Amino acid sequence: MLVGDRQVGLLLVDAEQTLVTGNVIRPAGSATVKGIGDMTLDIAHRIKSMAIRDLSSGKTGNNRVSATVGAGTWSFETYPEFIPEFTAALKDKYADIKELHRDLQVLATAPMVKRPRFSVPLFTTWARDLLARNPTVVGQAVVVARSARNDSAVGDVVVCDNIIRGAVQGIHIGASYAGQPRYGRQLMLKSVKVEHNEIDVLIPSTGARGRHAIFVGNAHRVLVTGNHATYETKIPGDIFATDGIRVFGYIGPHMHLRENVLEGFPTGIRMVLLGQLPKSRLWRAEDTVLTNLPASHSTIVSEGPLSKNVHYRGNQPGPQDR
């Protein structure tokens, strides 16, 4: 199956029984952006969010560009090499924050216009290099969801024996109120089984959020076993969180994450567990191998009020069994 840039491969919503198996899902074609002249506003916004970050009032730091706005000082974080030309491009004083926002928007789009108002050659070269390394990616390869619009419970979800190449999100399974008001018990899936899938996570140079190989949210029973996932990013110094396996929300009495191989992920397994602790439960993360770890990494992260109730065993290179 060929999937367009940042698009969804398979989407199933409110199916009572779901089996996704035997698919090969990969991005179609080559990069959709071949040069500055082809940049869309969406990509320009992504480049802006990478080069102009954390616009705040009163913050100081070595990698920040400051400007006076009214009676106060605002600043944003950027790469050190851009600080001189960004400082020279912006005015020393602005009447209000809207005026500063307008100049930042003009600054961020300078690489995509023929006659930019601001001369920012280093920033322009950096943007061109990003585009040259910007591959086409699948946004979400497999999505299985339950929404509040359907009162009947989604039954067993099985996703097994699939091959996924070049995806920001490989497999995403969860229950959500989808903008509806919450009522009664937490909306949950019955049973989720994710087994023996091969997933390559790829982050394009223009960035992406919500990255993971496997995500499971709000389920009574979770079994994630025997999967092999790899991670690659085209962003130099990429700082955004990317998880091999992510379990989030309300989980029932059985959660078993076992015998997975996760290569290169900044975080191998992340669990954020909410709600009330089941009286009888078996929550385990075991026999998972994490390889090619980046310098800054976490093998297994367990967060939320119930995090201490997960048992670890035999994971390499850690953490210790408990």
pLDDT tens digits for range 31-58: 444 444 445 566 667 777 888 989 999 8
> Which pLDDT score is estimated for 32?
47
- What angle (nearest 5°) sits at the alpha carbon of residue 122, between those of residues 102 and 139? 70
Q: 183 vs 113, which has greater pLDDT?
A: 113
Segment 247-265 mean pLDDT: 95
Q: Where are the domains of the chain?
A: 2-30+137-313, 36-132
Segment 77-81 mean pLDDT: 92
The residue type found at 175 is: A
Smallest Cα–Cα separation from 244: which of 284, 283, 285, 215? 215
Q: Dig out the tokens for 83 from the structure.
A: 């600080």
Query: 123-134, pLDDT tens digit by residue?
Result: 888 887 777 777
Cβ density class 270-299: b for 16+ within 10 Å, e for less:
bbbbeeeebeebebebeebebeebeeeebb
Angle between helices 41-51 and 121-132 (to 10 degrees): 120
Q: 162 vs 41, which has greater pLDDT?
A: 162
- pLDDT-based confidence at residue 264 (cuts at 50, 70, 90): very high
Separation in Å, CA 225 to CA 17, 107, 214, 287, 299: 20, 48, 11, 10, 17
> Which pLDDT score is estimated for 36?
46
Q: Dig out the tokens for 213 from the structure.
A: 């190989």
Q: 10 vs 147, which has greater pLDDT?
A: 10
d(CA 134, CA 282): 43
Segment 263-278 mean pLDDT: 93
> Which pLDDT score is estimated for 109?
80
Give me the percent of the chain exceeding a pLDDT of 70.
90
d(CA 241, CA 95): 36
Segment 203-211 mean pLDDT: 85
Instruction: Give the chain's radius of gyration (CA, Å).
Output: 22
> Which pLDDT score is estimated for 170?
98
Separation in Å, CA 244 to CA 200, 239, 286: 10, 15, 14
DSSP characters for 69-138? ETTEEEEEE--GGGHHHHHHHS-SEESSHHHHHHHHHHHHTGGGSSS-SS--HHHHHHHHHHHHT----E
d(CA 148, CA 152): 9
3-state secondary structure of 191: strand
